[in-house]
Amino acid sequence: MIANAADVPLQVLAGHGPTTKFKLLMGTTESTRDKLASASQMVSLFLMDFAPGGTNIPHHHEMEEEIYYVLRGSGDMVAGGGADGNEGRHATRQGDAWFLRLNTTVGFYSGARPGGEHDLVLAVRSSFPFPPARRR
């Protein structure tokens, strides 16, 4: 199976604000919005296109780990403590890869300038492998 980013439209996702558009490349077998619905542990593989000054609104995932890889641009990565609202902003740039453990506050604030190229981040979100009895 293959998903090419050129074949996947950009879309705004509820809860992430209008300044970030997503290309949903791959998701779980139950997905109805991803180009490929085939994964079991990986929840989603996607690209985020950040307008100048844009953000995907810091948030957290209680049962999922996430990796962000900055493909283009720079800005502030949010890697905070979780549901406590601590954003923990850190300068980041093209080529940086971030591993974000489950229940960590995560997000990105674009450093792109108006009229310039948008920042581009590749992300992978995976289910944390709890034993079946502990899954919610």
The domain that holds 92 is classified in CATH as: 2.60.120.10
Structural domain includes residue 136: no
Could you tell me which of 10, 34, 36, 37 has the C-alpha nearest to residue 22? 10
Structural domain includes residue 3: no
Structural domain includes residue 22: yes
Distance CA 42, CA 35 (A): 14
Confidence class of residue 131 from pLDDT cuts 50, 70 and 90? low
Query: Is it the case that residue 41 has pLDDT exceeding 80?
Result: yes
Q: Which amino acid is at 39?
A: A
Structural domain includes residue 2: no
What phi and psi values does residue 90 have, to the nearest 5 degrees? Answer: -135, 135
Prediction pTM value: 0.81
Contact 15, 57 (CB under 8 A): yes
Summarised one tens digit per residue, pLDDT across range 77-125 is 998 775 565 678 999 999 999 999 888 889 999 999 999 999 999 999 9
